């Protein structure tokens, strides 16, 4: 079957996979896109978070069969054509990662949050960022999300020209 | 005398044998340029430093990056002495030469009281034992990323290696331009003279191997430009775009994937196995039976086309599991027996005495007032975010290659060699980024397993990956422990006596058996980790007895971030709080009174208290707790603020103060505090492993919760200025978390919680 990943069509050989196979393993072991991580296999830790049609989705429990005609976006596609995503810049600015293993999932969860909500409150961040980090990068993640949100906030429309 | 006994008991010293060995001086720890494999466009100046033709510096990286920022901190040391900007330093994995071995980690094993180790006032016995240990450790050349020792270990040899390289380069410029070295200047890797000549290192390096370095002097603190200044971590950009390579991300042509299945019961093994369904499962290539290896139980590995196919195959295995020979383990029973052993030791004044001063028995008998309490800690899992894994390949000529996230590359090499039946130098170890370590990756069980599986794949590389469930159920856990603590006050209310009798498994002998079997002997030497954080309190208490009963529970146990300190600090600093309450004194004031002759400890404690606003009253429904603890050479104090509104416990703020000697990477220090606080809170609030009927109950994150972002408090870090060499930072901020929290909960509710995890009843 064909998958749409990061704006590209990727053919997956049906003989190599199984409709029940979670997207995580298709990405990592079939397509060799290893930026998306395995952490728990039960949708608890969020290390495997990707976007499916824009929504943060835990790919370790998302079967291949559910992804027909869906747009998948992974950490490899988070940066745009013009450069890193504002969240990636903020992550560097705030020196967020430690071991870094959970950060792909964290970034994808944060990106989905900012797509839906350009001015997230602390409570919004609390509710959206349920991924687990063992190194304790949470305070920096919160700060970096806020910084990226400021960066991404739509500029005020220019004042209407006077008649 | 076995080497291990020497290493670990230290006091054995074994004089005659070692006289005249001489501590390898820092200069001989520079290593020769011949340690590097030749590389096009690069010239090696010593074992640590190469210079590329474009002027970039290549640093031999002998420590593993597991989140603690060590790659950046060590690169900063090189950048400092070479006068290059940090981004001009590239890293290349160091080889296995003894110059890259750990020394300070082994000194950390020595069972010396903190008084004997106090910098500048070390006792003669400690200095002698330290000397012997450093010598031995350097002979062994075992490279360990652990014991919070990486920066302390690199501090002298790495800076000296960089400074020596710089001196050689300046020597070339001096000869070429016929100008005195003293008049040359280096900025950003460019050597220049006021009269005009300029050259970057790459233009000088060709002749530098022939140029003697002359007298090499390390920079004084006043001249530093990198150390102690803000720096961007080297590893961060790739950790934000998915490119950072962890063990599980290794992809090789023809790679196979293997899933491991151990017996559900710890210590169990596979009996009869029906593999027919598994072999018919799509994508499955074979099933390999694994013997017990490097501490891992016997197991089965299913080899397949992808990790998922391997797991599906594993689910199709029909196995008759055998229970362990000693019967199934039960953590409740073990914990009850530890409590019994601690009580019995206290009653009979038994156990191995790690510290004793004055006459605590008499002081306790004469005490006008006694306080006694029993403290307990459970088994604990590491739960690194990246589960255990290793990729292995055995070439046709029997050479072995492994790609592995490990804290012990040399021990991983030895383990691979033992399994493959080759010499260690036939094994190449590629160290990837570690998705967390915390001591779990001081083990080599998964390395041995991967190599064993690779023996069955006809030369194809194979990636052995543990599932999260296997990771939780077959960890080497922090040992459970119990301690009966007693104290006696005299008639005037002064604290006169402190006694601790604790029980729990000795862990370092077990670790040595797994990773260094050649160095283990028939008898366990006393394991200092069992009492660290109990026997070495900074407080002036005249009569003390701290003894431990080393048990053998059969539960696989290992090093968990901060090791013995992680639970012993909870015992000791909670108990000190109890004593303050018993003495009707403010817990901060009570501690400070006992620290009259410990100015560094007092300064750290006062800094934390001042920054946390200890003297200012809090609104109703809020309270603070404090704890002070020294570990890995660093003194750490924390003040934790909590609230319990609407029956909901909240940790609001954690203020940490530290004396960690010279701060190399300030942001790295802050990150390690944040990391330790979050991990410490997870452990204090939730961390436990229960074993019932031989099986670990917490098998994945839903049963083993971690602190979440929403629950994370404000975390502040403050350091005491210091000109001393750097001390540990990866662990010391973790031990005080649990007692500071427990003490805050006591202040808030009056409930004294003496068992981890803390279970407050909010009614």
DSSP B731-742: STTSTTHHHHHH
pLDDT of the residue at B646:
84
The answer to whether the predicted template modeling score (pTM) of the entire model surpasses 0.90 is yes
pLDDT tens across B171-223, in order? 999 999 999 999 999 999 999 999 999 999 999 999 998 888 888 989 999 99
Task: Answer whether residue A158 is part of any domain.
Answer: no
Nearest to A99 among B232, B243, B434 (CB): B434
Name the domain boundary from B237, B272, B293.
B237
Averaged pLDDT score across all residues of chain B = 94
Is there a contact between A98 and B242 if contact means CB atoms under 8 Å apart? no
Instruction: Give the C-alpha separation, B127 to B123, whole Å.
Output: 6
pLDDT of the residue at B138:
76
- pLDDT, average across residues B232-253: 98
Indicate the pLDDT class of residue A159, thresholds 50, 70 and 90.
low
Nearest to A134 among B384, B671, B674 (CB): B384
Indicate the pLDDT class of residue B645, thresholds 50, 70 and 90.
confident
Q: Is B697 helix (H, G, I), strand (E, B) or coil?
A: coil
What CATH number is given to the structural domain containing B673? 3.30.365.10
Chain A and chain B share a number of CB contacts under 8 A equal to 181
Please tell me whether residues B534 and B432 are part of one structural domain.
Answer: no
Is there a contact between B435 and A126 if contact means CB atoms under 8 Å apart? no
Residue in this structure with the two tokens 């934790």, named with its chain if needed: B640
How large is the C-alpha radius of gyration of chain B? Answer: 27
CB B462 within 8 A of CB B454: yes
Domain range for residue A47?
2-77
Residues of A in contact with B436 (CB under 8 A): 99, 101, 134-135
Is B559 a residue whose pLDDT tops 90? yes
Task: Return phi, psi of residue B569, to 5°.
Answer: -65, -35
Name the domain boundary from B465, B493, B522.
B465
Instruction: Give the C-alpha separation, B640 to B653, whole Å.
Output: 6
Please tell me whether residues A64 and A118 are part of one structural domain.
Answer: no
Is there a contact between B714 and A103 if contact means CB atoms under 8 Å apart? no
How many helices and strands, by DSSP H and E, does chain B display?
A: 21, 27
Instruction: Enumerate the β-bridge partners of residue B322.
Output: B269
Residues of A in contact with B712 (CB under 8 A): 136, 138-139, 142
| Residue B676 sits at the chain A interface (C-beta within 8 Å) | yes
How does strand B256-262 pair with strand B462-465?
A: parallel
Please tell me whether residues B264 and B219 are part of one structural domain.
Answer: no
Q: State what percent of residues in chain B have pLDDT above 90.
A: 86
pLDDT of the residue at B762:
82
Please tell me whether residues A131 and A109 are part of one structural domain.
Answer: yes
Instruction: Enumerate the β-bridge partners of residue B290.
Output: B299
d(CA B244, nearest CA chain A) in Å:
8
Q: How many CB atoms lie within 10 A of CB B52?
A: 18
Is B45 a residue whose pLDDT tops 90? yes
Is there a contact between A99 and B243 if contact means CB atoms under 8 Å apart? no
Please tell me whether residues A121 and A147 are part of one structural domain.
Answer: yes
Is B11 a residue whose pLDDT tops 60? no
Please tell me whether residues A96 and A70 are part of one structural domain.
Answer: no
pLDDT tens across B50-104, in order? 999 999 999 999 999 999 999 999 999 999 999 999 999 999 999 999 999 888 8
Is A63 a residue whose pLDDT tops 60? yes
Please tell me whether residues B292 and B187 are part of one structural domain.
Answer: no
Please tell me whether residues A40 and A66 are part of one structural domain.
Answer: yes
Residues of B in contact with A76 (CB under 8 A): 241-242
pLDDT tens across B293-321, in order? 999 999 999 999 999 999 999 999 999 99
Indicate the pLDDT class of residue B119, thresholds 50, 70 and 90.
confident
Please tell me whether residues A11 and A60 are part of one structural domain.
Answer: yes
- pLDDT, average across residues A40-57: 98
Task: Answer whether residue A109 is part of any domain.
Answer: yes
pLDDT of the residue at B113:
85
Task: Answer whether residue B114 is part of any domain.
Answer: no
Nearest to A25 among B249, B307, B385 (CB): B307
Q: State what percent of residues in chain B have pLDDT above 70.
A: 96
Nearest to A101 among B232, B308, B436 (CB): B436
Task: Answer whether residue A159 is part of any domain.
Answer: no
On whether ipTM exceeds 0.90, the answer is yes
Q: How many CB atoms lie within 10 A of CB B183?
A: 11
Name the domain boundary from B237, B260, B280.
B237
What CATH number is given to the structural domain containing A43? 3.10.20.30
Please tell me whether residues B281 and B358 are part of one structural domain.
Answer: no
Task: Answer whether residue A157 is part of any domain.
Answer: no
Residue-wise over B144-178: b if at least 16 C-beta within 10 A, else e? Answer: bbbbbbbbbbbbebbbbbbbbbbbbbbbbbbeebe
Task: Answer whether residue B122 is part of any domain.
Answer: no
Task: Find the length of chain A.
Answer: 163
Please tell me whether residues A104 and A137 are part of one structural domain.
Answer: yes
How large is the C-alpha radius of gyration of chain A? Answer: 17
Please tell me whether residues B373 and B307 are part of one structural domain.
Answer: no
Name the domain boundary from A18, A42, A77.
A77
Chain B residue with Cα closest to A83: B241
Please tell me whether residues A72 and A90 are part of one structural domain.
Answer: no
Structure tokens at B225: 């430009």
Chain A residue with Cα closest to B677: A136
Please tell me whether residues B300 and B219 are part of one structural domain.
Answer: no
Please tell me whether residues B734 and B662 are part of one structural domain.
Answer: yes
Please tell me whether residues B453 and B345 are part of one structural domain.
Answer: no
Is there a contact between B709 and A126 if contact means CB atoms under 8 Å apart? yes
Is B22 a residue whose pLDDT tops 70? no
Residues of B in contact with A148 (CB under 8 A): none
Residue in this structure with the two tokens 């978070």, named with its chain if needed: A49
Cα B11-B15-B16 angle, rounded to 5 deg: 160
Q: Which of B635, B625, B600 is nearest to B733 (CA)?
A: B635
Structure tokens at B110: 């020595």
Nearest to B244 among A100, A132, A136 (CB): A100
pLDDT of the residue at B18:
31
Q: Which of B63, B69, B57 is nearest to B165 (CA)?
A: B57
Q: Which of B690, B656, B689 is nearest to B673 (CA)?
A: B656
Is there a contact between A135 and B701 if contact means CB atoms under 8 Å apart? no
Instruction: Enumerate the β-bridge partners of residue B371.
Output: B487
Task: Answer whether residue B75 is part of any domain.
Answer: yes
Task: Answer whether residue A98 is part of any domain.
Answer: yes
Task: Answer whether residue A52 is part of any domain.
Answer: yes
Domain range for residue B392?
247-325+388-465
Residue-wise over B418-428: b if at least 16 C-beta within 10 A, else e? Answer: bbbebeeebbe
Please tell me whether residues B589 and B706 are part of one structural domain.
Answer: yes
Is B23 a residue whose pLDDT tops 70? no
Task: Return phi, psi of residue B650, to 5°.
Answer: -130, 135
Structural domain count of chain A: 2
Please tell me whether residues B652 and B565 are part of one structural domain.
Answer: yes
For B:183-202, CB contacts with A below 8 A are none
d(CA B606, nearest CA chain A) in Å:
25
Instruction: Give the C-alpha separation, B392 to B414, whole Å.
Output: 14
Please tell me whether residues A140 and A98 are part of one structural domain.
Answer: yes
Indicate the pLDDT class of residue B667, thresholds 50, 70 and 90.
very high
Please tell me whether residues A14 and A67 are part of one structural domain.
Answer: yes
pLDDT tens across B254-279, in order? 999 999 999 999 999 999 999 999 99
Cα B260-B263-B269 angle, rounded to 5 deg: 105
Task: Answer whether residue B5 is part of any domain.
Answer: no
Most B CBs within 10 Å, among A6, A35, A44, A99, to test the B interface? A99
Structural domain count of chain B: 3
Structure tokens at B746: 């006591």
Is there a contact between A133 and B678 if contact means CB atoms under 8 Å apart? yes
Please tell me whether residues B429 and B452 are part of one structural domain.
Answer: yes
Cα B191-B192-B197 angle, rounded to 5 deg: 120
Instruction: Give the C-alpha separation, A40 to B208, whole Å.
Output: 52
Task: Answer whether residue B3 is part of any domain.
Answer: no
What CATH number is given to the structural domain containing A100? 1.10.150.120
Most A CBs within 10 Å, among B87, B233, B240, B248, to test the A interface? B240
Instruction: Give the C-alpha separation, B623 to B53, whole Å.
Output: 60
Indicate the pLDDT class of residue B24, thresholds 50, 70 and 90.
low
Nearest to B701 among A28, A45, A138 (CB): A45
Indicate the pLDDT class of residue B518, thresholds 50, 70 and 90.
confident
pLDDT of the residue at B7:
34
d(CA B418, nearest CA chain A) in Å:
30
CB B295 within 8 A of CB B514: yes
d(CA B703, nearest CA chain A) in Å:
10
Indicate the pLDDT class of residue B472, thresholds 50, 70 and 90.
very high
Name the domain boundary from A26, A42, A77.
A77
pLDDT of the residue at B121:
86
For A:34-73, CB contacts with B below 8 A are 34-42, 44-45, 47
Is there a contact between A37 and B387 if contact means CB atoms under 8 Å apart? no
Nearest to A99 among B66, B232, B305 (CB): B66
Q: Count CA atoms within 13 Å of residue A116 on its CB side.
A: 15
């Amino acid at each position: 079957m064909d998958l749409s990943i990061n704006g590209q069509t990727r053919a997956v050989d049906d003989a190599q996979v199984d409709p029940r196979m979670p997207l995580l393993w298709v990405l990592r072991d079939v397509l060799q896109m290893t930026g998306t991580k395995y952490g728990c296999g039960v949708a608890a830790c969020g290390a495997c978070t990707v976007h499916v049609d824009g929504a943060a989705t835990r790919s370790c429990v998302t079967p291949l069969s559910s992804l027909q005609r869906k747009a998948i976006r992974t950490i490899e596609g988070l940066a745009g054509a013009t450069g890193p995503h504002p969240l990636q810049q903020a992550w560097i600015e705030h020196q967020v990662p430690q071991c870094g293993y959970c950060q792909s999932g964290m970034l994808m969860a944060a990106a989905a949050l900012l797509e839906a909500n350009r001015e997230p409150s602390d409570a919004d961040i609390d509710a959206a960022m349920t991924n687990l980090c063992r190194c304790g990068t949470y305070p920096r993640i919160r700060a970096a999300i806020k910084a990226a949100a400021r960066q991404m906030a739509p500029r005020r429309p220019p004042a209407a020209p006077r008649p | 005398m076995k080497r291990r006994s020497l290493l670990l008991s230290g006091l054995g010293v074994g004089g005659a044998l070692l006289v005249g060995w001489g501590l390898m001086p820092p200069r001989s720890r520079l290593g020769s340029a011949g340690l590097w494999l030749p590389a096009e466009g690069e010239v090696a100046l010593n074992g640590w430093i190469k210079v590329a033709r474009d002027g970039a510096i290549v640093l031999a990286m002998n420590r593993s990056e597991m989140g603690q920022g060590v790659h950046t901190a060590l690169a900063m040391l090189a950048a400092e002495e070479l006068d290059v900007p940090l981004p001009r330093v590239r890293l290349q994995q160091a080889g296995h030469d003894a110059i890259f071995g750990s020394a300070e980690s082994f000194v950390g094993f020595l069972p010396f009281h903190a008084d004997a180790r106090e910098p500048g006032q070390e006792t003669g016995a400690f200095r002698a034992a330290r000397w012997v240990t450093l010598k031995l450790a350097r002979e062994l050349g075992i490279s360990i990323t652990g014991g919070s020792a990486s920066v302390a270990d690199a501090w002298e040899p790495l800076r000296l290696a960089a400074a020596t390289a710089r001196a050689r380069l300046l020597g070339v410029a001096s000869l070429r331009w016929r100008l005195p070295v003293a008049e040359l200047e280096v900025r950003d890797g460019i050597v220049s003279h006021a009269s005009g000549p300029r050259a970057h290192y790459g233009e000088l390096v060709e002749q530098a191997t022939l140029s003697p370095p002359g007298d090499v002097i390390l920079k004084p603190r006043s001249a530093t430009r990198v150390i102690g200044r803000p720096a961007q971590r080297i590893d961060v950009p790739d950790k934000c775009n998915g490119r950072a390579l962890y063990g599980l991300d290794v992809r090789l042509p023809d790679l196979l994937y293997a899933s491991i299945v151990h017996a559900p019961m710890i210590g169990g093994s596979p009996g009869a196995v029906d593999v027919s369904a598994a072999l018919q499962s799509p994508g499955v290539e074979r099933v390999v039976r694994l013997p017990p290896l490097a501490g891992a139980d016997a197991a089965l590995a299913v080899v397949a086309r992808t990790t998922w196919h391997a797991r599906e195959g594993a689910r199709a295995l029909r196995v008759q599991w055998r229970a362990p020979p000693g019967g199934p383990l039960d953590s409740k029973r073990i914990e009850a027996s530890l409590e019994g052993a601690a009580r019995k030791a206290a009653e009979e004044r038994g156990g191995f005495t790690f510290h004793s001063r004055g006459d605590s028995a008499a002081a306790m008998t004469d005490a006008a007032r006694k306080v006694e309490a029993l403290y307990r800690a459970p088994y604990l899992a590491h739960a690194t975010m990246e589960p255990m894994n290793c990729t292995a390949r055995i070439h046709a000529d029997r050479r072995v290659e492994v790609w592995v996230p490990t804290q012990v590359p040399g021990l991983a090499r030895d383990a691979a060699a033992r399994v493959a039946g080759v010499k260690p130098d036939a094994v190449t170890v590629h160290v990837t980024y570690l998705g967390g370590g915390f001591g779990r990756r001081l083990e080599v069980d998964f390395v041995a397993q991967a190599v064993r599986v690779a023996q069955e794949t006809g030369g194809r590389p194979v990636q052995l990956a543990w599932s999260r469930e296997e990771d939780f159920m077959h960890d080497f856990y922090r040992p459970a422990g119990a301690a009966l603590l007693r104290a006696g006050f005299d008639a005037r209310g002064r604290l006169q006596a402190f006694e601790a009798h604790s029980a729990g498994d000795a862990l370092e002998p077990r670790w040595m058996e797994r990773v260094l079997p050649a160095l283990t002997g028939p008898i366990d030497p006393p394991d200092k980790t069992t009492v660290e954080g109990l026997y070495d309190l900074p407080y002036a208490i005249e009569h003390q007895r701290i003894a431990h009963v080393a048990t053998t529970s059969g539960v696989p146990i290992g090093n968990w971030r901060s090791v013995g300190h992680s639970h012993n600090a909870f015992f000791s600093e909670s108990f000190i709080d109890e004593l303050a309450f018993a003495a009707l004194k403010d817990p901060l004031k009570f501690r400070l009174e006992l620290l009259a002759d410990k100015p560094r400890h007092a300064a750290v404690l006062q800094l934390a208290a001042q920054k946390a606003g200890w003297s200012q009253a809090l609104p109703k429904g809020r309270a603070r707790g404090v704890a002070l603890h020294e570990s890995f050479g660093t003194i750490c104090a924390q003040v934790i603020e909590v609230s319990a509104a609407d029956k909901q416990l909240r940790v609001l703020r954690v203020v940490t103060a530290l004396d960690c000697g010279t701060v190399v990477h300030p942001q790295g220090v802050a990150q390690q505090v944040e990391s330790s606080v979050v991990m410490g809170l997870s452990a204090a609030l939730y961390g436990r492993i229960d074993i019932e009927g031989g099986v670990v109950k917490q098998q994945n994150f839903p049963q083993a919760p971690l602190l979440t972002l929403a629950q994370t408090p404000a975390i502040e870090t403050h350091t005491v200025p210091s000109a001393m060499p750097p001390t540990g930072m990866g662990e010391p901020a973790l031990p005080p978390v649990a007692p500071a929290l427990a003490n805050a909960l006591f202040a808030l509710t009056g409930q004294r919680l003496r068992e981890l995890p803390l279970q407050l009843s909010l009614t």
